[in-house]
Amino acid sequence: MKFFGLFGTIILLLQGCSAQSGIQLIDAEMETVVSETLSYYLYYPEDYHSTEKEKFPLLLFLHGGGESGDSLKTLKSNGPPKLIAEGKQFPFLILAPQNPYKKKWWNTRAVAQLLDTIVANNRVDQNRIYLTGLSRGGGAAWEMAVQYPDKFAAMAVVCGMAPVPYASWISREMPIWVFHGDKDKSIPISESQEMVKRLKNMGYDVKFTVYEGVGHNSWVQAYSTEELYSWFVRQKKYK
């Protein structure tokens, strides 16, 4: 008890000194270090290992909230990982990290660091890196397009939250394809409508696919769209 009483007295004395000296603003600096552990799947095209010099495109896939956590196998529930598990072949590498937090937003800086490491250690064509995400991962895709505007050659967002002010920060050279169900009660279609409208008014290259009568799980149809993947491989940052 004596310790806490003395500590409280010291605090009061320090506060009194600060008040008497009139200091209201100080300059300070602190170095912060944030560590993140990301589990991930990395898919290689069938002919990747049979060629020694060819560079391949890479698709970064960000899952939705339902696949977050510590069980990597849940990633196979939706999107490209699900299709891969069913036997589908893709012409590019696919990087699918897992958000370890069920109730937290994606740490997009950590995702970018993982992506850079994968690119540096594999034969990836850096002019053909693509980005896609669904639901919470779709919102994170918009965020990454803002934070790293020169990294991606194309982006596809499925039923993601889309803050309209982001539009001004996205690269005008990057084609975008947006998908949404018009009966989505989790993330209203208005999120995508307003973003697409703003981007088109600003002269961006945007495709918009609306699924009538479809709710939040519009990713089922979106990622089953074969044209989506052929559209991706046609995109390149420097043509």
Which amino acid would we find at residue 230?
S
Which amino acid would we find at residue 99?
N
156: its two tokens: 């596809």
Provide the pLDDT for residue 121: 97
Tell me: pLDDT of 238 over 70.
yes
195: its two tokens: 């973003």
Give the whole-angstrom CA distance, residue 161 versus residue 127.
Answer: 27
pLDDT tens for residues 56-89? 999 999 999 999 998 999 999 999 999 999 999 9
Residue 21: pLDDT band with limits 50, 70, 90: low
pLDDT tens for residues 24-58? 888 899 988 778 899 999 999 999 999 888 999 99
Q: Where are the domains of the chain?
A: 36-234
Provide the pLDDT for residue 181: 97
36-234 homologous superfamily: Alpha/Beta hydrolase fold, catalytic domain (3.40.50.1820)
